[in-house]
Amino acid sequence: MPLLLIAPQVLISAVFFFYPAAQAIWQSLFIPDPFGLSAQFVGLGNFEFLLSDRFYRASFVTTAVFSVLVTLCSMVPALFLAVVADRLIKGSGLYRTLLIWPYAVAPAVAGVLWMFMFNTRVGVVSWYLGQLGYDWNHVLNDGEAMGLVVIASAWGRISYNFLFFFAALQSVPRSVIEAAAIDGAHFWRRFFGIVLPLITPTAFFLLVVNVVYAFFETFGVIHTITSGGPQQATTILVYKVFSDGFVGQDLGSSSAQSVILLLVVGLLTVIQFKYVEKRVHY
Amino acid sequence: MKKYLLSGAAVAATLSPVAAYAQTEINFWHAFTGRLGELVAEQVEQFNASQSDYVVVQSHKGNYSETLNAGIAAFRAGEQPHVLMVFEVGTATMMAAEGAVRPVYEVMAESGAEFDPDAYIGAVKGYYTTTDGDMLSLPFNSSTPVLWVNRDAFEAAGVDPDMDLSTWEQVGEALDALKAGGEDCPLVTAWQSWIHLENFSAYHNVPFATRDNGFAGLDTELTFNGPAQIAHLTAMQEWAQDGKFIYTGRRNEGGANFRAGECALFTESSAGYAGISAEAEFDFDVRPLPYWEAVASEPQNTIIGGASLWVMEGHDAEEYRGVGEFLSFLSSTDIQAAWHQNTGYLPITAAAGEATRASGFYDENPGTDVAVIQMTANEPTANSKGLRLGSFDQIRGIIDEELEAIWSGDKSPQEAMDSAVERGNGLLRRFEQANR
């Protein structure tokens, strides 16, 4: 009976996860032609080719910077908004609804939206920046390009994180907070001393989810805003998997990259659960 | 009225497979939207209305890269269309795919449809023809880069819009004068690699890659880090740093700036004609692409961009006969002349060019023949026949990245192009290995 109950989940994992993963590992050993007519066995040749490419190695750093920034920029404002919304007595429902809206926007659409706002020619924001004497040009400036894709990627996520933080804050027992307040602890002292430790399980969950999001679900944003440029300043690992495989037709290299990505994410998850989770109080 | 009825019937036939029961269906996947998409649909309707044996079903499959991907994915799944539009950059990929594509010359020979390879313009045909002279795919939409001039912007900056701009030396002087006259955007470009490296090399008769730019074999190596290209990029870099050349992006983003009247000069495909003539609220000129007098005493010819039609393997003989008829129809003089005049793409047959000239179109729309003359002025050399490089979409991406490093001043042109050549060669070797 227990086996039967977990069977659907196992089946789904097998079909949608293990089978494609095994395929990727198998394909990473070949250089196939795009039409699937022939394939050359190259052993670990694809990995060698990748790791000898300094741009690919640089992409690890880009990915790390990007993921950390996206995670920070989506969690910190979300927590702040949740704390503020939590203190509201009237109208919190309205704020909540408005704050959740951006989550309904698909990443690629969000990318186009931000791209238009910062477009060097017609962008509203870039125009105002120009008025302030700042010459915005994310097509040539790495830092600006990175900043823009981070904001565009984090923006929709703030809503998602807000929702979880808000729910977590609501479940913090009022009695504990009131007791601290009676003892004379001011708001921020109460927040860092009591509230934050009590919501660490949620924060940890969001950390894992957001890192996975930054790794895997942001290529729509990058594709629409920068296509990985200028130079390779915004080419994160998963974007390179997409562009080599689906634009460049180099399925061998693309498979090898997804295998590497699989290892990286596996490692990251282990680190998160082993070290970060120790600081979580359930 | 009769024409409406016919095209109405054609639409109905296209939409409902039941109506097309007795006809052989031919699938045609292309990458055109907007005005171009409408024009393609019109051509297909005309073909369907012109005979009753075959019905062509056209579908839009996204941009060029997406269309090629859709075709490849469909082939892997055994669902490939009969005719697939592939951009010029994908040519080497398709040529290497023996067993997936059926060469056009074979299709035409078997179908018995009217087909004369010599009717096509040499510079266009050469791109899609093997070294033995066999045409592998049918040229469809081909364009070549030209220089667009905003005459109003020249006048506003106090520069004579009729000044000679045939050489880059002269363009350099014009840029100085424009900048001094208060122009914020003297020069902008589209498709930087295609115009400022690929066409630049052909136009100055210097190789872009060894082995006749890849035509003679897969063991080709990139050579666009030569002195001619570096001299050009060095000048462009200086212009970029002085605010005389404004970089707007890897594709044709600059077109929006030019059409809005913000820029004085624009290097862009001749096919920009449809958009510019529709949107520009200023007087514009089309001029031949400039060349460096210091590098070449006179320009060679430019090469094409655009797409050709590939016939996929795996269909019935009867269907291939229909494909032959359809391709023959597309190459016919009237269809080609109308396509050329409506879009600014080159007429792919000499007859279509002559018909356009005879109709007085060039006199009414001055400048529309610049691209044709520029491409056909000289017999193409090994350096100006075209490019046939595997993984070229990715190599262009690498070139774009390195060019960005030049414009931003991060790298010297020599450093950037050496790096692009080295990285590109890595991809060429992989392509060679995959298609051995």
Residue B385 is assigned to a structural domain of this protein? no
Burial of B195 per CB tally in 10 Å (0-12, 13-18, 19+): buried
Task: Flag whether residue A141 sits within 8 Å of chain B, measured between CB atoms.
Answer: yes
Whether residue A8 is predicted with pLDDT greater than 80 in this model: the reply is yes
The helix (H) or strand (E) run that includes residue A41 is strand A39-41
Residues of chain A with Cβ-Cβ distance to B258 below 8 Å are none
Residue B369 is assigned to a structural domain of this protein? no
CA distance, residue A201 to nearest chain B CA (Å): 43
Task: Flag whether residue A55 sits within 8 Å of chain B, measured between CB atoms.
Answer: yes
The answer to whether the Cβ–Cβ distance between A140 and B407 falls below 8 Å is yes
First to last CA, chain A: 30
Whether residue B3 is predicted with pLDDT greater than 60 in this model: the reply is no
The most confident of A64-78, A170-184, B268-282, by mean pLDDT: A64-78
Domains of chain A: residue spans and CATH: 54-279 (1.10.3720.10)
Give the pLDDT score at A216: 87
Percentage of chain A with pLDDT > 90?
A: 44
Query: Does residue B51 share a domain with residue B95?
Result: yes
Residue B375 is assigned to a structural domain of this protein? no
Task: Flag whether residue A116 sits within 8 Å of chain B, measured between CB atoms.
Answer: no
Residues of chain A with Cβ-Cβ distance to B65 below 8 Å are 247
Total count of domains within chain B? 2
Query: Does residue B9 share a domain with residue B124?
Result: yes
Q: Most B CBs within 10 Å: which of A23, A28, A30, A35, as the mutation test of the B interface? A: A35
Give the pLDDT score at B13: 44
Amino acid occupying residue B434: A
The 3-state secondary structure of chain B, one letter per residue: CHHHHHHHHHHHHHHCCCCCCCCEEEEEEECCCHHHHHHHHHHHHHHHHHCCCEEEEEEECCCHHHHHHHHHHHHHCCCCCCEEEEEHHHHHHHHHCECCEECHHHHHHHHCCCCCHHHECHHHHHHHECCCCCECCEEEEEECEEEEEEHHHHHHCCCCCCCCCCEHHHHHHHHHHHHHCCCCCCEEECCHHHHHHHHHHHHCCCCCEHHHHCCCCCCCCECCCCHHHHHHHHHHHHHHHCCCEECCCCCCCHHHHHHCCCCCEEEEEHHHHHHHHHHCCCCEEEECCCECCCCCCCCCCCCCEEEEEEEECCCCHHHHHHHHHHHHHHCCHHHHHHHHHHHCCCCCEHHHHHHHHHCCHHHHCCCCCHHHHHHHCCCCCCCCCCCCCCCHHHHHHHHHHHHHHHHCCCCCHHHHHHHHHHHHHHHHHHHHHHCC
Q: Which domain holds residue B48?
A: 2-143+305-364
Residue B211 is assigned to a structural domain of this protein? yes
Q: Angle CA(B273)–CA(B92)–CA(A58) in degrees, nearest 5?
A: 90
Of residues A238, A211, A209, A206, the one with CA closest to residue A222 = A238
Give the pLDDT score at B121: 85
Q: How confident is the model at residue A182 (pLDDT cuts 50, 70, 90)?
A: very high
Query: Does residue B296 share a domain with residue B228?
Result: yes
Task: Flag whether residue B248 sits within 8 Å of chain A, measured between CB atoms.
Answer: yes
* Cross-chain CB nearest to A40 (options B256, B427, B436): B436
Residue B263 is assigned to a structural domain of this protein? yes
Give the pLDDT score at B179: 96
Whether residue B166 is predicted with pLDDT greater than 90 in this model: the reply is yes
Give the pLDDT score at B300: 94
More reliable by pLDDT, B151 or A40: B151
Residues of chain A with Cβ-Cβ distance to B69 below 8 Å are 246-247, 249
* Cross-chain CB nearest to A247 (options B65, B402, B426): B65
What is the per-residue pLDDT across B219-261, written as a single tens digit (0 to 9) for each? 999 999 999 999 999 999 999 999 999 999 888 889 999 999 9
Whether residue B375 is predicted with pLDDT greater than 80 in this model: the reply is yes
Task: Flag whether residue A124 sits within 8 Å of chain B, measured between CB atoms.
Answer: no
* Cross-chain CB nearest to A33 (options B97, B262, B410): B97
Residues of chain A with Cβ-Cβ distance to B259 below 8 Å are none
More reliable by pLDDT, B82 or B391: B82
Angle of helix A107-118 versus helix A124-131 axis, rounded to 10:
30
More reliable by pLDDT, A281 or B292: B292
CA distance, residue B5 to nearest chain A CA (Å): 41
Residue B25 pairs in a beta bridge with B55
Lowest-confidence segment of A177-186, B216-225, B404-413 by average pLDDT? A177-186
CA distance, residue B422 to nearest chain A CA (Å): 11
Q: Which residue has the tokens 């060894």?
A: B210
First to last CA, chain B: 57
The answer to whether the Cβ–Cβ distance between B99 and A35 falls below 8 Å is yes
Query: Does residue B157 share a domain with residue B93?
Result: no
The nearest alpha carbon in chain B to A30 belongs to: B434
* Cross-chain CB nearest to A121 (options B69, B257, B436): B257
* Cross-chain CB nearest to B97 (options A35, A141, A253): A35
Give the pLDDT score at B312: 96
Residues of chain A with Cβ-Cβ distance to B423 below 8 Å are 53, 55
Residue B219 is assigned to a structural domain of this protein? yes
What is the per-residue pLDDT across B181-205, written as a single tens digit (0 to 9) for each? 999 999 999 999 999 999 999 999 9
What is the per-residue pLDDT across A129-155, written as a single tens digit (0 to 9) for each? 988 988 888 888 889 999 999 999 999
CA distance, residue A41 to nearest chain B CA (Å): 10
Query: Does residue B283 share a domain with residue B167?
Result: yes
Of residues A92, A79, A34, A9, the one with CA closest to residue A254 = A34
The nearest alpha carbon in chain B to A32 belongs to: B434
Query: Does residue B313 share a domain with residue B187?
Result: no
The answer to whether the Cβ–Cβ distance between B97 and A37 falls below 8 Å is yes
CA distance, residue A139 to nearest chain B CA (Å): 6
Sorted by sequence, the CB contacts under 8 Å of residue B237 that are 6+ apart come out as B406, B407, B409, B412, B413
Percentage of chain A with pLDDT > 70?
A: 100
Angstrom CA distances, B109 to B15, B140, B280, B321, stand at 31, 19, 45, 10
Q: Angle CA(B205)–CA(B206)–CA(B209) in degrees, nearest 5?
A: 130
* Cross-chain CB nearest to A34 (options B72, B257, B400): B72
The nearest alpha carbon in chain B to A243 belongs to: B394
Task: Flag whether residue A245 sits within 8 Å of chain B, measured between CB atoms.
Answer: no
Angle of helix A19-27 versus helix A251-271 axis, rounded to 10:
130
Task: Flag whether residue B140 sits within 8 Å of chain A, measured between CB atoms.
Answer: no
Is residue A183 left, alpha or beta, with left meaning phi > 0 and alpha meaning psi from -120 to 50?
Answer: alpha
Helices (H), A38-170: 45-51, 54-87, 92-100, 107-118, 124-131, 142-170
Query: Does residue B162 share a domain with residue B108?
Result: no
> Strand, coil or helix: what is A95?
helix
What is the per-residue pLDDT across B204-220, written as a single tens digit (0 to 9) for each? 999 999 999 998 889 99
Q: How far apart are CA B9 and CA B227, in angstroms?
A: 59
The nearest alpha carbon in chain A to B90 belongs to: A248
> Strand, coil or helix: what is A67?
helix
**Local structure of residue A15 (DSSP, 8 states):** I
Q: Most B CBs within 10 Å: which of A135, A136, A231, A244, as the mutation test of the B interface? A: A231
Cβ(A152)–Cβ(A94) below 8 Å: no
CB–CB contacts below 8 A, A to B:
92
- Mean pLDDT of the A58-82 span: 94
**Local structure of residue A278 (DSSP, 8 states):** G
Query: Does residue B354 share a domain with residue B255?
Result: no
The nearest alpha carbon in chain A to B89 belongs to: A248
What tokens does A16 get?
A: 């949608």
Residues of chain B with Cβ-Cβ distance to A233 below 8 Å are none
Whether residue B5 is predicted with pLDDT greater than 50 in this model: the reply is no
Residues of chain A with Cβ-Cβ distance to B410 below 8 Å are 231
Residue B341: count other Cβ atoms within 10 Å of its Cβ.
Answer: 20
Q: How far apart are CA B71 and CA B84, in angstroms?
A: 7
Q: What is the pTM of this model?
A: 0.85
Q: How far apart are CA A53 and CA A46, in angstroms?
A: 11
Whether residue A227 is predicted with pLDDT greater than 60 in this model: the reply is yes
CA distance, residue B395 to nearest chain A CA (Å): 9
Query: Does residue B394 share a domain with residue B282?
Result: yes
Of residues B222, B188, B187, B253, the one with CA closest to residue B417 = B222
Sorted by sequence, the CB contacts under 8 Å of residue A262 that are 6+ apart come out as A21, A24
Task: Please say which residue of B348, B364, B380 terminates a domain.
Answer: B364
CATH code at B185? 3.40.190.10
Of residues B49, B42, B43, B47, the one with CA closest to residue B10 = B49
Whether residue B291 is predicted with pLDDT greater than 50 in this model: the reply is yes
Task: Flag whether residue A252 sits within 8 Å of chain B, measured between CB atoms.
Answer: yes
Give the pLDDT score at B16: 46
Residue B241 is assigned to a structural domain of this protein? yes
Give the pLDDT score at B21: 54
Query: Does residue B254 share a domain with residue B162?
Result: yes
The nearest alpha carbon in chain A to B254 belongs to: A121
CA distance, residue A42 to nearest chain B CA (Å): 10
* Cross-chain CB nearest to B76 (options A36, A42, A248): A36
Angstrom CA distances, A237 to A56, B15, B96, B265, stand at 8, 43, 29, 38
Q: How far apart are CA B168 and CA B293, in angstroms?
A: 8
The helix (H) or strand (E) run that includes residue A268 is helix A251-271
Cβ(A86)–Cβ(A166) below 8 Å: yes
* Cross-chain CB nearest to A35 (options B75, B250, B397): B75
* Cross-chain CB nearest to A139 (options B248, B256, B410): B248
Query: Does residue B59 share a domain with residue B159?
Result: no
Whether residue A91 is predicted with pLDDT greater than 80 in this model: the reply is no
Residue B59 pairs in a beta bridge with B29
Residue B381 is assigned to a structural domain of this protein? no
Query: Does residue B157 share a domain with residue B76?
Result: no
Q: How far apart are CA B39 and CA B50, in angstroms?
A: 16
Q: Most A CBs within 10 Å: which of B94, B191, B257, B431, as the mutation test of the A interface? A: B431
